[in-house]
Amino acid sequence: MSGGVLDSWVGARADLGSEPDPAALAGYQLARFRQLLDYARERSPFYQRLYQGIDSGRLRTLADLAALPPLSAEDLRREGGQLLCLPQTRVQRIVTLATSGSSGPPKRLFFSAADLELTVDFFAHGMATMTGRGKRVMICLPGSNPDGLCDLLARGLRRFGAEPLLYGMVSDPAAAAESLRGFRPHCLVGMPRQLLALARLCPEQRPETVLLSAENIPEPLRQELAELWRAQVLAHWGMTETGYGGAVECRPGGGYHLRHADLLVEIIDPASGRPALPGESGEIVFTTLTREAMPLLRYRSNDFSRLINEPCACGSRLPRLGPVQGHDKLYPLTS
C-alpha cells in the first residue's frame, strides 16, 4: 500500500477524482479557505476583529493568503473561547494544553463530533497503508480516554478490521515488554525514544511496521529501530491543533503525505512571514479547512519543514512535507 491510497481518499473527499492533480487541489483549497474565512468571521469575535475589512473574494490564489495575518499559539492562549464558532452545547471535546515553562494561561482547543470523525477517517485511511484487516496494532501513545488520541486511532483501525491494543505511554519498559510479547503486534505506534527502549528489551519481536510520532525522529534512532525489529519504520506528523492527524509517510518513503482535504499547509520565512521559495525550508503554517468548532486559519506551528512538489515514488503527484524539525512533544500527556 502507498501514499497513492491517501491521494484517492483526498480526491474523494474533495470531489477531485481518484487521482487529483496539484492544480485542482489548489483550487479546492482556495475555495475552502474563502468559505472558512467567511464562516469564522461570522461566528467568532476574534476572527471578526482579525479579518475586519478583508474581502475573501479578493483572494485569487493561494499565494494571496500570505497577506493575511497569521494565528499564533499566544492568540490561542489569550483569546480562548473567542475563537469558538459553535455553541458550547455542540462541543464534543475540549483539550487543554499546558504552556511549558510559562505561568500564562493554557491553550484550549474545541472539537465537535464532526471534527473528531474527520480525524478518525484520516487515521483509518492512513493506517490502512501500513497494516491491514486482522492485524494487531499496539498503540503506545497518550490519550486513551474517550475521544482522546489513542481512542480516535483505535476507532480508525477498527474501521478496516485491525485489532488495536491501547497500551498508553511506555513509562515502564519492562511492563510494556511483557505486553508486547503477549500481544505480538504486527504494527506498533508510539514515540521514538520509548519504542527504541522497548525494542532494545525485545529484539526478538518482529512487527511488520512501526509508526513513530509525537517527537523529532533522529535518523540513527530510526535505523537502529529498523535493524532491531527488522521492520519498516515510518513517521507521522501532526499536533493537537491539526486535530492530531496531519501527514504520514508512505512505504516507498520520500516525504509525508498530507491530509490535504482537511489541511492547507504553507511554508513561510519565520522572520519576515513571506512565503518560502519552492523547496525552501521554513515554518509550517496550516489552516484547518473543514474544522467547524474551532477552525484555525494560518496557524503558526513552530515546526519547520519544506514542501516537496516532485512526484513520490508511490505515484502521488500531490505536495508532501519533507522531514519535520522543531517540536519536542506534539500531544498533551493528559489528552
Over residues 187-202, the pLDDT tens digits come to 999 999 999 999 999 9
Inside any domain, residue 332: no
- Does residue 216 sit in the same domain as residue 229? yes
Which tens digit of pLDDT belongs to each residue from 260-317?
999 999 999 999 999 999 889 999 999 999 999 999 999 999 999 999 999 999 889 9
Percent of the chain with pLDDT over 70: 95
Show the cell assigned to 22. Answer: 496539484
Lowest mean pLDDT among 47-56, 118-127, 244-253, 255-264: 244-253
- Does residue 178 sit in the same domain as residue 201? yes
pLDDT for res 99: 63
Inside any domain, residue 333: no
What is the extent of the structural domain holding 51?
3-116+239-266+275-281+288-296+305-321
Count of structural domains within the chain: 2
- Does residue 184 sit in the same domain as residue 247? no
Percent of the chain with pLDDT over 90: 85
Q: Please state the rounded mean pLDDT for residues 219-237.
A: 96
- Does residue 67 sit in the same domain as residue 167? no
Which tens digit of pLDDT belongs to each residue from 92-127?
999 998 765 556 789 999 999 999 999 999 999 999
- Does residue 41 sit in the same domain as residue 190? no
Inside any domain, residue 37: yes
More confident residue, 333 or 56: 56
- Does residue 11 sit in the same domain as residue 70? yes
- Does residue 244 sit in the same domain as residue 112? yes
- pLDDT band for position 325 (cuts 50, 70, 90): confident
C-alpha 149/C-alpha 153 separation (Å) is 6
- Does residue 251 sit in the same domain as residue 233? no
Inside any domain, residue 188: yes
The candidate with the shortest Cα–Cα distance to 157, out of 177, 141, 170, is: 141
Inside any domain, residue 12: yes
- Does residue 245 sit in the same domain as residue 233? no
Q: Please state the rounded mean pLDDT for residues 27-49.
A: 97
For strand 247-249 and strand 232-237, is the pairing parallel, antiparallel, or unpaired? antiparallel
Q: Kindly report the CA angle at 203 between 200 and 204, in degrees rounded to 5?
A: 155
Inside any domain, residue 122: no
- pLDDT band for position 138 (cuts 50, 70, 90): very high
Query: What CATH number should be reported for the domain holding residue 208?
Result: 3.40.50.2300
Inside any domain, residue 247: yes
C-alpha 131/C-alpha 145 separation (Å) is 24
- Does residue 66 sit in the same domain as residue 158? no
- Does residue 111 sit in the same domain as residue 214? no
